């Protein structure tokens, strides 16, 4: 096993499907920690690295994320931040074929549980509209991470996101006529994210004095 959930067999399969990523391990203060990921081409060559945000964005895109923590601007004061735990929901990839071109749109959903309001003045933001604003801030963070992963994938010319694999399964005849390595770096990929605020612990209401 190379890393949790990643064996030699699964690594080999992903490489031949278009590329693979492997967690990057560093030594910090005498401890082994994971930091980003290494990117391997279909020829099993290490061609570059992902930073932490790009790695998380890749996990959102490919459905390999169980949970991540992040912070978002406070609706009452954008200079302060709210901590939250994000869990993925559904994801859906669409291909648009028209005028001889291919474009991709990726829809991702997730839920947000608040974990820290210490730096946010809660009083002014108690309305449903403000809750939606907070969920919207979380969605923007997720979308930025996914878009960063897409950009890095295209810069390296390695489709570790599996976009080509999905296209080949849905449109095999068209796929056989494509030069995917040439097409992929310029492929139009758009991302939309929806996050819902789900706070069963009542952190939001307790902080608001309810």
Domain boundaries 64-207, CATH class: alpha beta
Q: What are the residue ranges spanned by the domains of the chain?
A: 64-207
Question: What pTM value is reported for the model?
Answer: 0.88
- Scanning 159-199, the segments in alpha helix (DSSP H) are 163-170, 172-176, 180-183
Contact 144, 52 (CB under 8 A): no
Q: What is the pLDDT along the chain (210 residues), one digit of tens a residue?
A: 334 567 788 888 888 889 999 988 888 888 888 889 999 999 999 999 999 999 999 999 999 999 999 888 887 777 888 888 999 999 999 999 988 899 999 999 999 988 887 667 655 456 677 778 888 989 999 999 999 999 999 999 999 999 999 999 999 999 999 999 999 999 999 999 999 988 644 555 555 555
Question: How far apart, in whole angstroms, are the C-alpha atoms of residue 201 and residue 178?
Answer: 51
- Could you give the CA distance from residue 123 to residue 83 in angstroms, rounded to a whole number? 17
pLDDT the model gives residue 2: 38
């Amino acid at each position: 096993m190379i890393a949790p959930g990643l064996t030699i067999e699964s690594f080999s399969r992903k490489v031949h499907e278009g590329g693979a990523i492997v967690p990057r391990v560093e030594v910090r203060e005498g401890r082994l920690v994971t930091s980003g990921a290494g990117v391997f081409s279909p020829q099993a060559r290490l061609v570059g690295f992902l930073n932490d945000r790009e790695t998380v964005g890749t996990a959102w895109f490919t459905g390999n994320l169980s949970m991540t923590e992040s912070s978002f601007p406070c609706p009452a004061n954008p200079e302060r931040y709210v901590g939250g735990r994000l869990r993925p929901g559904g994801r859906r990839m669409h291909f648009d074929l028209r005028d001889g071109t291919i474009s991709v749109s990726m829809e991702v959903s997730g839920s947000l549980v608040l974990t820290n309001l210490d730096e946010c003045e809660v009083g002014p933001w108690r309305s449903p509209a403000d809750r939606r604003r907070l969920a919207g801030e979380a969605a923007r963070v997720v979308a930025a991470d996914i878009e960063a992963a897409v950009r890095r994938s295209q810069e390296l010319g390695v489709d570790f996101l599996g976009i080509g694999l999905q296209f080949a399964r849905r449109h095999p005849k068209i796929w056989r006529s494509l030069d995917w390595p040439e097409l992929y770096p310029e492929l139009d990929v758009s991302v939309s994210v929806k996050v819902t605020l789900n706070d069963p612990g009542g952190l939001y209401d307790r902080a608001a004095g309810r």
